[in-house]
Amino acid sequence: MKRWIIVLAVLSIVMAGCVTSDFEYVNGPYEKIITISKTKDEAYSLTMQWIAQAFKSAKAVIQYADKDSGIIVGNGNGTADFGGLVPGTVSFKITIDIKDYKERVTFSEVRPVFDNSSSGQLAASITPGLTGHAWPKFETWADDTIESLQQFVATKSSDW
């Protein structure tokens, strides 16, 4: 009997160590302001072109676009290296505010996405965001994405 009590006590301690702790989740916002050498109208046009090239379907991404106010809001997916065996996919809302000679790019509502193999569709995860260790890797991906926008706007001309 004593032996069973000791075994149960040891198993209880071991099993308590297997319980996962609460994760700290981050889903944004991540914001960066970039300087550009274009007026608001030129930058708006070039940013719309960049979205069309950077994402599979610009129509599926863009949820709201207003040239007069210089605002583009969309939902997108991206693949980032989170340090695992394979890159992970994240869904996000992207907001681009455009003024003369600068743009503010904001990523929010960032969540991991999983592949629903049976339907071949991507489905948003039920987690409220990325774990604390994955967020800096997302920031690196976001910085690269923002840099590609900045380079595109800098090197393209809306006049040809």
52-97 tens-digit pLDDT: 998 877 677 899 999 999 999 999 888 887 776 667 788 899 999 9
In 36-108, which ranges are continuous DSSP H helix? 40-54, 58-61
**Gap between the Cα atoms of 124 and 64, Å rounded:** 21
Cα 146 from chain centroid (whole Å): 11
Pick the CATH number of 33-155 from 3.30.530.80, 3.90.930.12, 3.30.70.100, 1.20.1250.20: 3.30.530.80
Confidence band, pLDDT 50/70/90 cuts, at residue 117 = low
pLDDT for 57: 73
Average pLDDT over residues 24-30: 82
Query: How does the average pLDDT of the chain come out, rounded?
Result: 81
Name the pTM for this structure.
0.76
Distance, in Å, from the CA atom of 34 to the CA atom of 15, rounded to the nearest integer, reads: 50
Asked if residue 37 has pLDDT above 80, the reply is yes
Please tell me which residue, 157 or 61, carries the higher pLDDT value: 61
Measured between alpha carbons, how far is 132 from 76 in angstroms, rounded to an integer? 21
